[in-house]
Structure 1
Amino acid sequence: MQTIPANQLLAGLTLAEPVTIRAVVTDSRKVEPGCVFVCFPGERVDGHDYAAGAYRSGAEYIVANHPVEGVPADRTVIVPDSGKAMIRMASNYRMLFNPRMIGVTGSVGKTTTKEFCYAVLSAFGKTLKTEGNQNNDIGVPNTLFRLTNDTEYAVVEMGMDHAGEIERLTRCARPSAGIITMIGVSHLENLGTRENILKAKLEICTGLPDGAPLALNADNDLLPTASIPSRLRPVWFGIDAANADVRAVDVVTGANGTTFKIIDTQYGTFDAAIPTAGIHTVYDALAAYAAATRLGLDAARCAAALATYRTTGMRQHIVEKGGITFIEDCYNASPDSMKAALSVLKALPNARKIALLGDMLELGGASEEGHRHTGEWAADAGVDALIAYGPRSAAMAEAAKARGVAAVHCQTAEEVLQYVRQFVRPGDAVLVKASHSMGLEQLLQEYYKELPQG
């Protein structure tokens, strides 16, 4: 973070003195002289308990929901919502800079698309990106606080659980271009219908300037029905839609990556290669290409830069351990991403394929149907065995069994490990995917310890 006067950073929250602020922190362990410390009340830890210590350690101002003993009143900024205070400070800080920025949202593929955007933009200059999936009221401000005068490009991921959140984030970030990856069923629990999800994702339009490009998935069933503000420039990307502005054709995917041709109605045809497997990642790459080129970046360089994409965390990361090929995809899960991941498993050359799939959360009333469809898709992918984990995944196992798959349903992590030991052998390919809170990442690390090293 570059330094900024407190009265400028805290404008709209309090009348502050023009002292120099060097950082905004929410973790008491990161407090430093000249920072603003923001208190967040939590179920297990309350940031207000650390406010006095933060002030003693040199914090210039404490943002809190109530007065705190040990912090002078003139150094306490009292707000009703700490997250909205972070957004306000980040918006004030954002006004200091003018990078070309892409904002990314959508039901599935946000983080992968963000990483493709980073790969493309980095080919043209110094680029800032959202780290991990820091895409909420804390994560987006923390990303914006990393802007500096030499930041030429940026890509910011924006997530949501409820209506109104994307609008708040996009008004704060004020991207130069937007991307909506697709409209799926994630967050049905809170929003009720896919139409409501579409409406919530379209909130990204409110933060885009007049004439800004908005890249949209032409193959998604709902997005083409959306009413896009006439002041924006929609650019449609896809594979099946013949009228898409940017299309991928001649797609060839395998264990080591995917090649395809980009047909761009504005700039021509380009060869592209990405180090990922699965048709869904082609969509993510097309979205990044579409947004970047409509920001005026050279199309040929954008297409070539897609090859520099690097995966993050356990997101469709293909590794080999003990002679077994694992698709590590433990970060998140929805029916859409389950179907896509199973298509990657199907494309692998291994003779035997095993799917270890866990519960998908936040599906609301669509939960049983989503898990049942996933079991059917596992059968369609030709898996030799399905290990379903978690209470919601019972429907998944039942559906797979009805299609003739050797499927088991496990309630505990130890049961899962027992069946993995029983089913998996060298030469197999194993897809491991569930919502992050199911803990499959930790379970997988435990199993890796049992495999031959080297």
Structure 2
Amino acid sequence: MEKISLGFILNATGGRLTRECFNIKISSVSTDTRKIKPGSLFIALRGERFDGHDFIETAFEKGAYAALSEKPVENTSRPVIMVKDTHSALLHLAQSYRMLFSIPVVGVTGSVGKTSTKDAISAVLSQKYKTHKNEGNLNNEIGMPMTVFGLDKTYGAAVFEMGMSGFGEISRLSRVAKPDVGVITNIGVAHIGKLGSRENILKAKLEIIDGMKPDGELILNGDNDLLSGYITEAKGKLPIHLTSYGINNRSGVYANNIETTSEGSYFDINYHGGRIRAFMPVPGEHNIYNALAAFCVGMKLNVDPRLIVEGLASYKPSGMRQKIEKIGGVTFIEDCYNASPDSMAAAFGVLNAVKTGRSIAVLADMLELGDRSQQAHFDVGRNAAQSGVDVLLCCGNDARYICEGYDSVKTGGKSYFFEDKQLLGQALLDLLKAGDTVIFKGSRGMKLEETVKTVYEGWKNK
């Protein structure tokens, strides 16, 4: 972070300083006293289970130079900037800080694949620019603006992932990031429980346009039905340009001549002006889509196509996404970050690409699906059976409907439902044998990684 003055913070937030002070320079921003560094600005946020205002003096004791607060703070040892709403002040401060940098910025959103696409774009842009990006899942109205403060004058580009659960959130994040390029990976059913329909999800994702610069580029997955329809409807009516990518839709940048291996996919990228062979070192068709989005971004930001494919070949998944481990003759695929019907389908594709013997799917609940949840879980079970999953183990509440859907397709495979993750883990250990391939997939709130850890330790010691 570049140092900023209290005057800069006052102008950005419209705040009021409660006491006179010397010319203080802030060198970092924090909302968590456990991460306070000397010279920090502490922003006191209120949540459902905590109130940061209770920790302002603690922040000062740990070296914070100043604090943003909604509440009066008496007898404080350091300057406090009073604002009406600290959450709003955080967004306004991040927006002002972002505008200190004249670098290309990319915003990424979508129902699934946001983080993987962001990481692919970063791998591509890093071939030409020092590139800043969100770490992990810091993509909400706290995490993304806090990521913005990580920018400094050494960076040549930035990629910001934008998540949401309702209307207005992407709009606010886009206005902070001011992207030159926007990417929407797809429109699925994640968060449909709150937004009610895929059409409303599309509307919420399109809020990324709100902060985009005039003459910017919006890059969309042309194989997604709703995004394809939007391209047809909106082309020529927006102050920004539209670009599409796909495998089936060949009106824009597209992939063909696809060769799938257990290590990844080889494919040709066809674009205006040429064709180039690429390799994505992770299996699954969904990763080809991520690569195509990254290719479009790279081309827009003047990265040579040869450097783009070098960047794609260097891609590595982050966190708990498609992490592949081989232990004692069994291949484990850990994909516990999140889950939706679309990402479940992608997981079955990965399982088929990697497996050599039996395929085993360990699935937990998909959350935030509202009234569609039971049917969505049933459909995932049918998809699992039709995709050739040999053994299915499920846990959770609605995950029982995955088993019902699986059993409705007569394949000769076996399904097992557990209300307890420990029992599921033990059952998996009992039936595992060398040559099996296992994928773990569930929504983040199900914490399926706990089962993964138990199974890893049990299998190593078996």
**TM-score using structure 1 length:** 0.96
Structure 1 equivalent of residue 31 of structure 2: 26
Q: Does the CA contact (< 8 Å) of 2:106 and 2:181 recur in 1?
A: yes
Structure 2 equivalent of residue 157 of structure 1: 161
C-alpha displacement of 1:418 = 2.4
Q: Does the CA contact (< 8 Å) of 1:63 and 1:79 recur in 2?
A: no
Name structure 2 gaps, 5 residues minimum: none
Structure 1 equivalent of residue 351 of structure 2: 345
Partner secondary structure for residue 123 of structure 1: coil
Q: Does the CA contact (< 8 Å) of 1:385 and 1:423 recur in 2?
A: no
TM alignment of 1:55-70, pairs within 5 A: 55-70=60-75
Structure 2 equivalent of residue 9 of structure 1: 9
CA distance in 2, matches of 1:73, 1:304: 50
Give the partner amino acid of 1:218.
G
Q: Does the CA contact (< 8 Å) of 1:173 and 1:207 recur in 2?
A: yes
Deviations, residues 209-252 of structure 1 (Å, cap 9, x unaligned): 11111110000010122236521111100000132x10000111
Partner secondary structure for residue 409 of structure 1: strand
Structure 2 equivalent of residue 361 of structure 1: 367
Structure 1 equivalent of residue 452 of structure 2: 444
Q: Does the CA contact (< 8 Å) of 1:215 and 1:234 recur in 2?
A: yes
Q: Does the CA contact (< 8 Å) of 1:179 and 1:215 recur in 2?
A: yes
Consecutive aligned runs of 4 or more in structure 1 exceeding 6 Å deviation: none
CA distance in 1, matches of 2:4, 2:445: 38
Are 1:54 and 2:55 an aligned pair?
A: no
Structure 2 equivalent of residue 187 of structure 1: 191
Identify the match of residue 239 of structure 1 among 231, 243, 247.
Answer: 247
Are 1:271 and 2:277 an aligned pair?
A: yes
CA distance in 2, matches of 1:56, 1:313: 33
C-alpha displacement of 1:61 = 2.4
Give the partner amino acid of 1:65.
E
Partner secondary structure for residue 276 of structure 1: coil
C-alpha displacement of 1:347 = 2.0
C-alpha displacement of 1:453 = 6.6
Q: Does the CA contact (< 8 Å) of 1:52 and 1:69 recur in 2?
A: no
C-alpha displacement of 1:442 = 1.4
C-alpha displacement of 1:376 = 0.6
Name structure 1 gaps, 5 residues minimum: none
Identify the match of residue 415 of structure 2 among 407, 425, 429.
Answer: 407
Q: Does the CA contact (< 8 Å) of 1:321 and 1:453 recur in 2?
A: no
TM alignment of 1:246-285, pairs within 5 A: 246-264=253-271, 266-285=272-291
C-alpha displacement of 1:133 = 1.3
CA distance in 2, matches of 1:73, 1:273: 54
Query: Mean Cα displacement is larger for which, 176-185 or 54-63?
Result: 54-63
Q: Does the CA contact (< 8 Å) of 2:65 and 2:78 recur in 1?
A: no
TM alignment of 1:47-126, pairs within 5 A: 47-71=52-76, 75-80=80-85, 82-126=86-130
Q: Does the CA contact (< 8 Å) of 1:55 and 1:61 recur in 2?
A: yes
TM alignment of 1:174-253, pairs within 5 A: 174-226=178-230, 227=234, 229-243=237-251, 245-253=252-260
CA distance in 2, matches of 1:382, 1:339: 12
CA distance in 1, matches of 2:461, 2:395: 27
Partner secondary structure for residue 399 of structure 2: helix
C-alpha displacement of 1:70 = 4.1
Q: Does the CA contact (< 8 Å) of 1:9 and 1:93 recur in 2?
A: no
Are 1:332 and 2:338 an aligned pair?
A: yes
CA distance in 2, matches of 1:183, 1:120: 24
Q: Does the CA contact (< 8 Å) of 1:353 and 1:385 recur in 2?
A: yes
Q: Does the CA contact (< 8 Å) of 2:66 and 2:78 recur in 1?
A: no
Give the partner amino acid of 2:453.
Q
CA distance in 2, matches of 1:324, 1:215: 39
Change (3 A) 1:93 1:409: same
Identify the match of residue 140 of structure 2 among 131, 136, 141.
Answer: 136
The aligned length equals 451
Q: Does the CA contact (< 8 Å) of 1:6 and 1:21 recur in 2?
A: yes
Give the partner amino acid of 2:70.
N
Partner secondary structure for residue 174 of structure 2: helix
TM alignment of 1:301-340, pairs within 5 A: 301-340=307-346
Give the partner amino acid of 2:200.
N
C-alpha displacement of 1:15 = 4.3
Structure 2 equivalent of residue 433 of structure 1: 441
Q: Does the CA contact (< 8 Å) of 1:52 and 1:70 recur in 2?
A: no
Deviations, residues 258-283 of structure 1 (Å, cap 9, x unaligned): 1000000x231000001110001100
Give the partner amino acid of 1:94.
R
Change (3 A) 1:339 1:442: same
Partner secondary structure for residue 267 of structure 2: strand
Deviations, residues 346-389 of structure 1 (Å, cap 9, x unaligned): 22241201000000001112211211111011101211110011
Query: Mean Cα displacement is larger for which, 317-326 or 191-200?
Result: 317-326
Q: Does the CA contact (< 8 Å) of 1:67 and 1:73 recur in 2?
A: no
- CA-based RMSD of the aligned residues comes to 1.7
CA distance in 2, matches of 1:76, 1:154: 29
Q: Does the CA contact (< 8 Å) of 2:262 and 2:353 recur in 1?
A: yes
Q: Does the CA contact (< 8 Å) of 2:44 and 2:56 recur in 1?
A: yes
**TM-score using structure 2 length:** 0.94
Deviations, residues 55-108 of structure 1 (Å, cap 9, x unaligned): 34442322223223443796242332x332211111111111111111100001
Give the partner amino acid of 1:252.
E
Q: Does the CA contact (< 8 Å) of 2:69 and 2:80 recur in 1?
A: no
Q: Does the CA contact (< 8 Å) of 1:60 and 1:75 recur in 2?
A: no
CA distance in 2, matches of 1:397, 1:71: 59
